[in-house]
Amino acid sequence: MSNDRRLREQADTAIETHQEIVKQDPYRQAFHMSPPVGLLNDPNGWIQWKGTYHLYFQWMPFHTGHGAKFWGHFSSDNLVEWKLEPTALTPSDWFDQSGCYSGSAIDYDGKMKIYYTGNVKDENGQRETYQCSAESVNGIEFVKNGVEIELPQGYTPHFRDPKVWKHGDHWYMVIGAQTEDLYGCVVLFESEDAKEWGFRGELSHSAGKEFGYLGYMWECPDLFTLNGQDVLLFSPQGVEADGINYNNLYQTGYVVGKLDYQQAQFQHNRFEELDRGFEFYAPQTTCDDKGRRLLVGWMGCPDQEEKAQPTHRYHWVHCMTIPRELSLENDKLIQRPVTELTDLRTVQRYDEQVAEKGIFELDRVSEMQIDGPIEEVNLLNYARLVYERDSGLLTLLRPALNGTVESRSCRLPQGVNQLQLYIDRSSVEIFVNDGEEVFTSRMFADTEARTVEVKIEVSTTANVKVWSLRDDV
Ligand code: FRU
C-alpha cells in the first residue's frame, strides 16, 4: 500500500474512532469550522473556485498536538454551511514527510493548483524546507508535483507558507522567512508560468526603518490590493509586549503601502495589529466572485499552554474564525462579518431599548448587536468588555490559567458606539464600531449554564438586538 493511502486510512480511522467523543464536548462549536478530530491550525488554500468556496486547513488527525501536518478540507456554497471533504494532502513523500505545511491555492488553466511547504526534519531535528505544489481537477483529489523552490542562500530553513497571486500576466509568491542572522522577513518570487520561480528579494524586514525590530520569524504572509493600496499581512514571532500592543505570544498584523513590481520593492507604513483578542493567528485572504476580499483566521495561537484549551479531553482542539470581509479605510483594515452570516439567524430574541442597564438571556449560540454608547458588557460572568472614557481604552478581560484575570485592550478615543458579538459554545468574536476593531477569543465559561447572561451598561440609551443562531451547520 502506498504511504499516501496508508496515512489517509489512518486519518479516516482516527475520525471514526473519536468522532463520538468529540460530539459530546459541551464546548464543541456550532457554526465555526472545527477539526473532525485532532488539531486544526492555519487556514490554507482559501479560494472560491468554480463557484464553491474551499478552505483547507493544517490538520493533525491523530492527536491534539502539532506534528506532521495533513491538509484537511472544508467546502461551502454559501460561507455558512461547511462540509468536511476527504483529506487533501498527506505528509507521505520525502519532501513533505514531517508535514504538508501552510500554503495557498490558485486557478491555473481551469485546474486548481496549490502551493505548500514541505517540511522535513531528520532524526537530529535538523530542518529542511521545500516549496511544493500539487494539482487537482476537482479541488478534492490532488496530484503532487513535488518541489518547485529550494531554499535560497541567506535564509534558515524557517522559510515557508507560500501565497501566490497573479498580477498582469505574471505570477507572484510571498514566503515567510528568517534570515541567517535571525530576523523575520517576507520574500518575493516571480514566475511567467507559475512553475519556474525567480527570487526577487525581500519586501519587508524585521529590522526595517518602519519597525525598529519586529521579531525573528514571520509566518503566513499574504499580499493583496484593497482600495488602490497594497496590504501585506503576516504573523511575526519574537515581538516583545509593549504596553497594550503585542500581548499575545505571537502576533498578526499588516502594513499598507505600494508594491513596485518592477523593482520588487515595497514602500509601506508601520505595523498594525489586526485583531485585539487572545486567540487569532495566521489568517489568509482570497477574493471571491463578488470582488470581496474575504479573510479567515485560525482562532488559536501557537505554543499556548495545553491547559488553556479544555477541549483536548474530547480529542479535538482549535477552530477557524467566521469569514470576514475586509475593507481599507484611511490605511486601516476594517473587518466585518460576511453578510451571508445573517442566514445563521433562527429566531429574534430581543429588539429593545435599554436605558443605562439591561440584562439579557441568550441561547449559547447567538448573535447580539448593541447600538449606543457602550460602557460595559458582561458575558456569562466569564468575560467582561469595559470601556474607560478617561484612557479611551476598550478592554476584554477573562479568567487566566493562574487564577488571575488576563486582559487585552485597544485604544478608541472616539468611544464605543456599536458592537456586534458572535457567540458560539466556546468563543466570542466582538466587532467594535462596525469592524474598526475586533476581539477574537475562545471562551470556556461554565458549561452548566444553558443560556448566556449578558449584562450591559450604557451611558445613555442603546438599542439591543439578539438572535439565536443555527446549531446544525
Ligand atoms: C503557523 C505555522 C506555519 C506553518 C504551520 C505548520 O501557525 O507555524 O508557519 O506552515 O503553522 O502547521
Question: Which atom from ligand 1 is nearest to the alpha carbon of 220?
Answer: 9
Q: Tell me how far apart the alpha carbons of residues 394 and 376 are, in angstroms, rounded to a whole number.
A: 9
pTM: 0.97
pLDDT at 345: 98
pLDDT at 305: 85
Question: Which atom from ligand 1 is nearest to the alpha carbon of 161?
Answer: 10
Protein residue whose Cα sits closest to atom 9 of ligand 1: 219
pLDDT at 306: 86
pLDDT at 80: 98
* 472 CA to centre of ligand 1 in angstroms: 30
Ligand 1: residues whose CB is within 6 Å?
41-42, 58, 69, 101-102, 117, 160-161, 219-220, 281-282, 302
Structural contact between residues 259 and 266, judged by C-beta atoms closer than 8 angstroms: yes
* 249 CA to centre of ligand 1 in angstroms: 14
pLDDT at 204: 97
Question: Which atom from ligand 1 is nearest to the alpha carbon of 58?
Answer: 12
Three cell numbers written together for 456: 450591559
Three cell numbers written together for 321: 474564525
Mean pLDDT by 10 residues, the chain (473 residues): 97 98 97 98 98 98 97 98 98 98 98 98 93 98 98 98 98 98 98 98 96 96 98 98 96 98 97 98 98 98 90 98 98 98 98 93 95 93 93 97 95 96 97 98 88 85 96 86
Question: Which atom from ligand 1 is nearest to the alpha carbon of 219?
Answer: 9
* 44 CA to centre of ligand 1 in angstroms: 10
Question: Which atom from ligand 1 is nearest to the alpha carbon of 66?
Answer: 12
* 160 CA to centre of ligand 1 in angstroms: 8
Single out the residue of 262, 117, 107 nearest to residue 194, CA to CA. Answer: 107
Structural contact between residues 457 and 356, judged by C-beta atoms closer than 8 angstroms: yes
Protein residue whose Cα sits closest to atom 6 of ligand 1: 101
Question: Which atom from ligand 1 is nearest to the alpha carbon of 101?
Answer: 10
pLDDT at 381: 81
Topology, domain 345-469: Jelly Rolls (2.60.120)
Beta-carbon contacts of 197 under 8 Å, excluding residues fewer than 6 positions away, are 131, 148, 149, 173, 189, 190, 191
Give whole-number Cα distances, 452 to 284, 385, 412, 426, in Å: 31, 15, 27, 11
Q: Tell me how far apart the alpha carbons of residues 386 and 457 are, in angstroms, rounded to a whole number.
A: 9
Protein residue whose Cα sits closest to atom 8 of ligand 1: 219
Partner residues linked to 468 by β-bridges:
366
Q: Tell me how far apart the alpha carbons of residues 39 and 67 are, in angstroms, rounded to a whole number.
A: 10
> Mutation test of ligand 1: which of 59, 163, 220 has the most ligand atoms closer than 8 Å to its C-beta?
220
> Mutation test of ligand 1: which of 161, 185, 233, 284 has the most ligand atoms closer than 8 Å to its C-beta?
161
* 104 CA to centre of ligand 1 in angstroms: 13
Three cell numbers written together for 408: 487585552
* 33 CA to centre of ligand 1 in angstroms: 18
Mind telling me the catalytic residues?
42
| Residue 141, φ and ψ in degrees, nearest 5 | -100, 135
> Mutation test of ligand 1: which of 57, 66, 102, 130 has the most ligand atoms closer than 8 Å to its C-beta?
102
* 42 CA to centre of ligand 1 in angstroms: 6
Structural contact between residues 160 and 102, judged by C-beta atoms closer than 8 angstroms: yes
Q: What is the CATH number of domain 3-337?
A: 2.115.10.20
The domain spans of the chain are: 3-337, 345-469
* 415 CA to centre of ligand 1 in angstroms: 36
Q: Give the dihedral sign, CA 403/410/412/368.
A: negative
Single out the residue of 366, 467, 465 nearest to residue 419, CA to CA. Answer: 465
* 314 CA to centre of ligand 1 in angstroms: 23
Give 135-152 pLDDT, tens digit per residue: 999 999 999 999 999 999
Length of the chain: 473
> Mutation test of ligand 1: which of 160, 237, 251 has the most ligand atoms closer than 8 Å to its C-beta?
160
